[in-house]
Amino acid sequence: MFKNFITNNRKFKPTDPEYQQVYLINSMLLGMVVVFTFFFFVNLALFSLYAVALLDFIAAALAATLLRRFQVSNNVRQGANYTVLLLAVFLLGYYGFTGPEFYSLIWLSLFPPLAFFLLGRRRGLITTVIFLSLLAILLGWRASLWPDGSVSSEAVLNVGLATLCLTLLVHYYEVSRQHVFRALATQHRQLQRLSVTDTLTGLYNRIKLDNILSHEIARSIRHSSPFSVILADLDFFKAINDNFGHMAGDQALMSFSGILQQYCRELDVAGRWGGEEFLIICPHTDLTGAKLLAERIRAAVEHYSFAHGKQLTVSLGVACFIRDDDASTILKRADDALYRAKGKGRNRVEM
């Protein structure tokens, strides 16, 4: 029940980037309602501090109103702003009414971390500086009105320095945290890219091609739009490895991947299917369009000067999606067409 409330009836989940902010906003506002209500009764019944009790009552009512508003609106940025503003106004109003006492100055330590965590490093720092500046002006203006001995200058100075140190520490923590998050985000993007990329050619790997193929089949069924696949296999590739070494073979594969990237359209997806075999997925393309693309690739390879000096050719098999196809059946037809191209002398396109 409490967890539902603290996450706005589960509208925010732990995987959401705003989850921690939502948790903190709800916790702070609920805590303010409880604390301000408690001090309202204490100041009213025990100490007869009616002005302070009225301030506590107003703060509790505002906190409850903001909490309810945030539960309905789910506006995280607005909720963060209002939470920080409420705490700032209450502290300034409290010290303006009563003057600082040593125990009450301790509440200043809440403001810097709350501002940084809810508003971010830059806005949190600006807000904290503005708040502390207003507080210093207020204390200087009201100092002559406080009873003698109600507060010592040493207490104010110590608490002020402690709050300044806390602000700097929280700022340093936020800077470090952002650096860590950026580094983790960069590593995450690199790992995501590596997980779907063939390390040698830079094209998509078989895992990614399987996912894209499944997506294209679902899209084609849903929208009744055509798509085709092309399987390409470099002819006599084993002879390159045997005669010139595996480095020459790797260079040939990288050169061929460059040809694919050059001749494929933006909507086409090319990847390494395995060994010297490559797959091209052609969305919104019928059999005729896919055959034209395959012929352009075949001609480009035939006239390309590979690094090892030996001329290479490529055989290609083309298949178009049929309504009852799944990934295995369309790839089987493309593979059959590729083997026909190999059987008819290589360096050709078959459909």
Tell me the catalytic residues. 276
User: What are the phi and psi torsion angles at 279 (to 5°)?
Assistant: -120, 135
**Which residues, 6+ apart, have CB-to-CB distance to 118 below 8 Å?**
21, 24, 25, 80, 83, 84, 124
Question: What is the 8-class DSSP label of residue 152?
Answer: -
Spatial separation of the C-alpha atoms in residues 7 and 32, rounded to whole Å:
17
Which residue, chain included where needed, has tokens 């679902």? Answer: 218
Which residue, chain included where needed, has tokens 């050619």? Answer: 201
**Long-range contacts, 121-129 (Cβ 8 Å, 24+):** 121/171, 121/174, 121/175, 121/178, 124/170, 124/171, 124/174, 125/167, 125/171, 127/84, 127/88, 128/167
For the chain, strand residue ranges (E) read 227-234, 269-274, 277-283, 314-320, 349-350
